[in-house]
Protein backbone atom coordinates (compact mmCIF):
# COMPACT_ATOMS: atom_id res chain seq x y z
CA UNK A 1 0.00 0.00 0.00
CA UNK A 2 1.23 3.45 -0.88
CA UNK A 3 0.23 6.02 1.76
CA UNK A 4 -0.14 9.77 0.99
CA UNK A 5 2.85 11.42 2.67
CA UNK A 6 0.92 14.63 3.42
CA UNK A 7 -1.81 12.88 5.44
CA UNK A 8 -1.67 12.93 9.23
CA UNK A 9 -4.50 10.44 9.61
CA UNK A 10 -3.20 9.28 12.99
CA UNK A 11 -4.71 12.46 14.45
CA UNK A 12 -8.16 11.15 13.50
CA UNK A 13 -8.31 8.11 15.75
CA UNK A 14 -9.90 7.56 19.14
CA UNK A 15 -7.71 7.92 22.22
CA UNK A 16 -10.41 6.11 24.23
CA UNK A 17 -9.37 2.47 24.67
CA UNK A 18 -13.00 1.47 25.24
CA UNK A 19 -13.49 2.30 21.54
CA UNK A 20 -10.69 -0.07 20.58
CA UNK A 21 -11.82 -0.50 16.96
CA UNK A 22 -11.38 3.27 16.43
CA UNK A 23 -7.84 3.47 17.85
CA UNK A 24 -6.27 2.67 14.46
CA UNK A 25 -7.23 3.55 10.88
CA UNK A 26 -8.66 0.72 8.75
CA UNK A 27 -7.35 -0.30 5.32
CA UNK A 28 -10.20 -1.33 2.98
CA UNK A 29 -8.36 -3.05 0.13
CA UNK A 30 -11.45 -3.65 -2.03
CA UNK A 31 -12.29 0.07 -2.12
CA UNK A 32 -8.70 1.35 -2.09
CA UNK A 33 -9.24 3.58 0.95
CA UNK A 34 -8.27 4.01 4.56
CA UNK A 35 -11.15 4.75 6.95
CA UNK A 36 -10.57 6.59 10.19
CA UNK A 37 -12.68 8.05 12.99
CA UNK A 38 -12.23 9.30 16.53
CA UNK A 39 -15.95 9.02 17.17
CA UNK A 40 -16.29 12.78 16.59
CA UNK A 41 -15.08 12.85 12.99
CA UNK A 42 -14.76 10.55 9.99
CA UNK A 43 -12.30 10.40 7.09
CA UNK A 44 -12.10 8.40 3.88
CA UNK A 45 -8.60 8.60 2.39
CA UNK A 46 -7.78 7.09 -1.03
CA UNK A 47 -4.62 4.96 -1.15
CA UNK A 48 -2.91 2.78 -3.72
CA UNK A 49 -3.19 -0.87 -2.75
CA UNK A 50 -1.11 -3.76 -4.02
CA UNK A 51 -2.29 -7.28 -4.86
CA UNK A 52 -0.97 -8.88 -1.67
CA UNK A 53 -2.47 -6.27 0.72
CA UNK A 54 -5.14 -7.49 3.17
CA UNK A 55 -7.89 -5.33 4.69
CA UNK A 56 -7.62 -4.57 8.39
CA UNK A 57 -6.36 -2.09 10.98
CA UNK A 58 -3.11 -0.22 10.41
CA UNK A 59 -1.15 0.67 13.55
CA UNK A 60 -0.75 4.44 13.77
CA UNK A 61 2.95 4.12 14.65
CA UNK A 62 3.43 2.29 11.38
CA UNK A 63 1.79 5.14 9.43
CA UNK A 64 4.04 7.69 11.11
CA UNK A 65 7.11 5.69 10.03
CA UNK A 66 5.97 5.13 6.44
CA UNK A 67 5.24 8.84 6.01
CA UNK A 68 8.87 9.69 6.82
CA UNK A 69 10.19 8.14 3.62
CA UNK A 70 7.03 7.92 1.51
CA UNK A 71 7.66 4.32 0.49
CA UNK A 72 5.22 1.43 0.31
CA UNK A 73 3.82 -0.62 3.15
CA UNK A 74 2.96 -4.31 2.89
CA UNK A 75 -0.18 -5.29 4.83
CA UNK A 76 -0.57 -9.01 5.49
CA UNK A 77 -3.29 -10.50 7.68
CA UNK A 78 -1.04 -10.39 10.77
CA UNK A 79 1.42 -7.52 10.14
CA UNK A 80 2.06 -4.20 8.45
CA UNK A 81 5.63 -4.42 7.19
CA UNK A 82 7.92 -1.51 6.31
CA UNK A 83 10.57 -1.79 3.56
CA UNK A 84 13.19 -1.89 6.35
CA UNK A 85 11.62 -5.15 7.55
CA UNK A 86 10.12 -3.64 10.71
CA UNK A 87 6.78 -5.35 11.32
CA UNK A 88 3.85 -3.90 13.23
CA UNK A 89 1.26 -6.41 14.48
CA UNK A 90 -2.34 -5.82 13.37
CA UNK A 91 -5.15 -6.02 15.92
CA UNK A 92 -6.94 -9.28 15.15
CA UNK A 93 -9.96 -8.53 17.33
CA UNK A 94 -12.11 -7.10 14.52
CA UNK A 95 -12.88 -8.24 10.99
CA UNK A 96 -14.50 -5.02 9.77
CA UNK A 97 -14.70 -1.32 10.58
CA UNK A 98 -17.85 0.61 11.54
CA UNK A 99 -19.58 2.15 8.47
CA UNK A 100 -18.13 5.64 8.96
CA UNK A 101 -18.43 6.23 5.22
CA UNK A 102 -22.18 6.70 5.77
CA UNK A 103 -21.41 9.87 7.70
CA UNK A 104 -19.40 11.27 4.80
CA UNK A 105 -21.32 10.09 1.73
CA UNK A 106 -25.00 10.36 2.69
CA UNK A 107 -27.15 13.48 2.55
CA UNK A 108 -28.46 14.50 5.96
CA UNK A 109 -31.66 16.53 6.14
CA UNK A 110 -33.48 18.32 3.33
CA UNK A 111 -30.50 19.45 1.31
CA UNK A 112 -27.15 21.03 1.90
CA UNK A 113 -25.40 24.35 1.63
CA UNK A 114 -21.77 24.10 0.63
CA UNK A 115 -19.16 26.51 1.99
CA UNK A 116 -15.38 26.68 1.79
CA UNK A 117 -13.29 27.81 4.73
CA UNK A 118 -9.72 27.71 5.92
CA UNK A 119 -9.60 25.19 8.78
CA UNK A 120 -6.35 26.61 10.15
CA UNK A 121 -7.85 30.08 10.42
CA UNK A 122 -10.97 28.66 12.07
CA UNK A 123 -8.78 26.80 14.60
CA UNK A 124 -6.88 30.04 15.29
CA UNK A 125 -10.16 31.88 15.92
CA UNK A 126 -11.31 29.13 18.27
CA UNK A 127 -8.01 29.26 20.17
CA UNK A 128 -8.33 33.04 20.45
CA UNK A 129 -11.75 32.52 22.03
CA UNK A 130 -10.28 30.06 24.52
CA UNK A 131 -12.22 27.10 23.12
CA UNK A 132 -11.99 24.14 20.78
CA UNK A 133 -15.71 24.06 19.91
CA UNK A 134 -17.37 26.83 17.93
CA UNK A 135 -20.67 27.62 16.27
CA UNK A 136 -20.78 29.07 12.75
CA UNK A 137 -23.54 31.36 11.55
CA UNK A 138 -23.63 31.44 7.75
CA UNK A 139 -25.90 33.90 5.96
CA UNK A 140 -28.23 32.31 3.41
CA UNK A 141 -30.84 33.55 0.97
CA UNK A 142 -34.08 31.59 0.80
CA UNK A 143 -36.01 30.95 -2.40
CA UNK A 144 -39.71 30.85 -1.44
CA UNK A 145 -42.64 29.71 -3.60
CA UNK A 146 -46.06 31.44 -3.82
CA UNK A 147 -47.34 29.36 -0.88
CA UNK A 148 -44.51 30.61 1.35
CA UNK A 149 -42.57 27.34 1.37
CA UNK A 150 -38.80 27.50 1.25
CA UNK A 151 -37.64 25.80 -1.94
CA UNK A 152 -33.90 26.20 -1.51
CA UNK A 153 -31.15 28.01 0.35
CA UNK A 154 -28.00 29.60 -1.01
CA UNK A 155 -25.07 31.07 0.89
CA UNK A 156 -24.88 34.85 0.57
CA UNK A 157 -21.84 35.42 -1.65
CA UNK A 158 -18.99 37.11 0.20
CA UNK A 159 -20.73 37.31 3.60
CA UNK A 160 -18.49 36.46 6.55
CA UNK A 161 -19.15 33.40 8.66
CA UNK A 162 -19.81 34.59 12.21
CA UNK A 163 -17.94 32.44 14.72
CA UNK A 164 -18.89 32.17 18.40
CA UNK A 165 -17.79 29.75 21.11
CA UNK A 166 -20.21 26.93 21.84
CA UNK A 167 -21.89 27.99 25.09
CA UNK A 168 -21.54 24.60 26.79
CA UNK A 169 -17.77 24.42 26.30
CA UNK A 170 -15.01 26.38 28.10
CA UNK A 171 -14.53 29.77 26.41
CA UNK A 172 -13.94 33.48 27.00
CA UNK A 173 -17.32 35.09 27.71
CA UNK A 174 -18.39 37.55 25.03
CA UNK A 175 -15.83 36.37 22.48
CA UNK A 176 -16.91 36.37 18.84
CA UNK A 177 -15.24 36.56 15.47
CA UNK A 178 -15.70 36.36 11.74
CA UNK A 179 -14.13 34.17 9.10
CA UNK A 180 -14.22 35.35 5.52
CA UNK A 181 -15.25 32.80 2.89
CA UNK A 182 -12.33 31.02 1.29
CA UNK A 183 -11.73 32.10 -2.27
CA UNK A 184 -9.99 29.83 -4.73
CA UNK A 185 -7.80 31.65 -7.24
CA UNK A 186 -8.98 31.18 -10.81
CA UNK A 187 -6.26 30.33 -13.31
pLDDT, averaged per 10 consecutive residues of the chain (187 residues), comes to: 87 91 95 92 92 95 84 92 93 88 70 81 93 91 81 80 91 90 59
Please check whether residue 4 lies inside any domain of the structure: no
pLDDT of residue 110: 64
Q: Where are the beta strands (DSSP E) in 22-63?
A: 26-28, 33-37, 42-46, 56-57
Let me know if residue 24 belongs to a domain. Answer: yes
Q: Which residues constitute the domain of residue 123?
A: 119-179
Residues 84 and 17 in one domain: yes
- The pTM of this model reads 0.77
pLDDT at 89: 96
At 109 the pLDDT is 62
Amino acid sequence: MKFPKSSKIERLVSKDQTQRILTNPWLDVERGVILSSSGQNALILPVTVEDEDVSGPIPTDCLKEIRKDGSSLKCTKEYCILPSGAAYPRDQMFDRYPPVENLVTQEHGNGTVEVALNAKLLAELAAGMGTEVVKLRIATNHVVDDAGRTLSKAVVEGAPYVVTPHPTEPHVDGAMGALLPYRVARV
